[in-house]
Structure 1
Amino acid sequence: MIVFDLICRDGSHQFEGWFGSSDDYDKQQLAGLIDCPTCGSRAVEKAVMAPNVGMKANQRSSSDKPSRFEAGASDSAEGAQPVSNAVEVSPEYAKLIDKLAEAQAKILEKSEWVGTDFPEQARAIHYGEKEAAPIHGTATADDAAELDEEGIEILPLPLPVKPPKSQN
């Protein structure tokens, strides 16, 4: 797949187009199959684009240190969350994520990891079968919906959590 920044000459609307290859773009352009999603104009051409060439994933400069949000993710495929392989992150966004990661880490410091037993443990605490204590773990969307229906308050964590056993 290749992504081109496109622009319509009629309204100067800029948008992205995804194509199987550069040749696919050329063929679709010649056939008049590309139009502006804003105004419908077929007078569309490639916009000027700067190449985005980054370092290999296994290379870092000595001054680069991974930010908190680059490390760790849930090992479970169940209840998987959307992720991105975007390399470019604005400094403002990186600072925001770092602050969010710090806040989440402070909350989880005083919380016990219960892993996939989270729904059962949350129920036990809610129904007084277990002493009240802060816990965190994993739950599917269906589990979370059931807990909510039972009136058990839970809060989705904004960032992935690496299970303690899999941390170095």
Structure 2
Amino acid sequence: MIIYDLICEHGHRFEGWFKTAADFADQESTGMLNCPTCGSYHVTKLPTASHINLHRSEPKTPDHVVADVSNTLLEKIQDYVASHYDDVGNDFPEEARKIHYGETAARNIRGTASIDEVNELNEEGIQALPIPGAPVDKTKLN
């Protein structure tokens, strides 16, 4: 399996996974590659640093790759919510209701609620979405 960093004519970067370098060349020459973001068929391979495996450890399995991508995406979502939403803590269900029913100014909020409270809010037509807590950074453990 070979992984290339690709970019479309609109600057969207993405990865392409190919069985061999020849498979990439075949797909590129026949116009089979397209950008998953915009659909453009004008895709080129980006230059990448060579990877030299100095250790004899097993390469990451696809499951590990998916977990890494999921954790990165979750961290980005958490960072965005933390910087763009007001933290109302344990008062989240009450504040969400006040905003929904016009008792207080509309704004983006975040806080703590049980699954039952989130379900009740959703049944009332109030959009609430649980976001998992931050993954533990194993490098910062004592």
Structure number with greater CO (CA < 8 Å, separation at least 6) is 1
So what's the TM-score if we normalise by structure 1? 0.39
| Structure number with bigger Rg | 1
TM value normalised by structure 2: 0.46
Bigger fraction of residues in helix: 2
